[in-house]
Amino acid sequence: MTNSKINTALCSFGMSGVVFHAPFIEVNTNFNLYGVLERTKNEAQKIYPTIKTFRSLEDLLADETIELVVVNTPNITHFDFAKKVINAGKHLIVEKPFTATVNEAKELIQLAKEKNLVLSVFQNRRYDSDFKTVKKILDKGLLGEIIDVEIHYDRFDPNLSYKVHKEKNTAAVGSLYDLGSHLIDQALVLFGMPNAVYADLNGFRPNSKVVDFFDVKLYYKSHRVTLKSSYFVREPLPGNIFHGTKGSFLKSKADVQEKELMEGKKPSLPNWGVEPKEEEGLLHTEKKGEIVREKVTSLKGNYMEYYDGIYDAIRNNKSLPVSGNDGMHVIKVIEAAIKSNSEKRRIDL
């Protein structure tokens, strides 16, 4: 069994399944894209003719040949689906946001631990070219001690989503959960948990009932991190703005993977994840007593690294690329941000 492929099933075949999961599972020789839950349609079979279509979660979970299940359903269903997957004895990947609440996250983590199952949260943006490049700059200490950071996830899209569930004012809905999960996770990877959180949340699109704008401040002992997102940014700032005691690094959000996946390109291409040269970051700092201002070649982005890590965790007992605890910490910051906005004050963690 040790070297056999991992039979994997998806819980839905919307954008997440089509773009972010199926292409990587299919081309990774350690996995077999075995099944998909589609209650009425057969969209997956049009692209992957050998895939098995299930009409209910119960039927999918009853298939004993499935080892790994990807819970990529609407946010509000993550907890319910994940709990059923764990109780069926399957390893699982839960799309971000992990859950609506910290208590739900804790329950799933404990349940998976009791049943000795792998539980991971899908945080693909750790493997974006821009984030990997920023992390390398920080790991090398090229900016000195970090003082001030801004990470943006902006777009220009004033229209409400055609997906009705994304615009209902229910738990785990809105840009703080959807886009904020990425930015918070990146901040936590770089700096760990903050000491306190302050947040301004709003909905600026006409008739919006959910958060579509956030400005979240993370307070650390020696520096500040600002996480921002708006749907009214036609001309974006650099997505990554890092200032330290030695210098600054500015880098656009320019990872090409989502765009190429939307175009139907396969992640097995040799030049996968390579940014255009004009999107190189700008490093303005001090090296060996000299002030330098230079472009920095971006590292290659590659979401496949996540799935390679999942294989190693299941087959070789290695540590997870993203753990359930990682996912829970993101939700802890989100809960603090919601409380901060509601009470108009800083929330200590």
pTM, full prediction: 0.96
Please, what are the averages of pLDDT over each run of 10 residues along the chain (349 residues)? 83 96 97 97 96 98 98 97 98 98 98 98 97 98 98 95 88 95 98 98 94 97 97 96 98 96 93 95 96 97 98 97 98 98 97
3-class state of residue 290 by DSSP: strand
Residues 6+ apart with CB under 8 A from 104: 79
Length of the chain (residues):
349
At a CB cut-off of 8 Å and minimum separation 6, what does 235 contact? none
Q: Which pLDDT score, from 0 to 100, does residue 3 have?
A: 58
DSSP 232: B
Beta strand 31-37 with 91-95 is: unpaired
Contact 348, 195 (CB under 8 A): yes
Strands of 281-287's sheet in order across: 290-296, 281-287, 248-251, 240-244, 146-152, 224-230, 213-219, 196-202, 347-348
Q: In order of start, what are the domains of the chain with their CATH numbers?
A: 6-123+305-320 (3.40.50.720), 125-301+333-348 (3.30.360.10)
Residue 1 has what pLDDT? Answer: 42
Q: What span, in angstroms and rounded, lies between the C-alpha atoms of 184 and 96?
A: 11
Which residue has 């994304």 as its token pair?
166
Q: Are 86 and 111 in contact (CB under 8 A)?
A: yes
b/e sequence 219-228, b meaning 16+ C-beta within 10 Å: bbeebebbbb
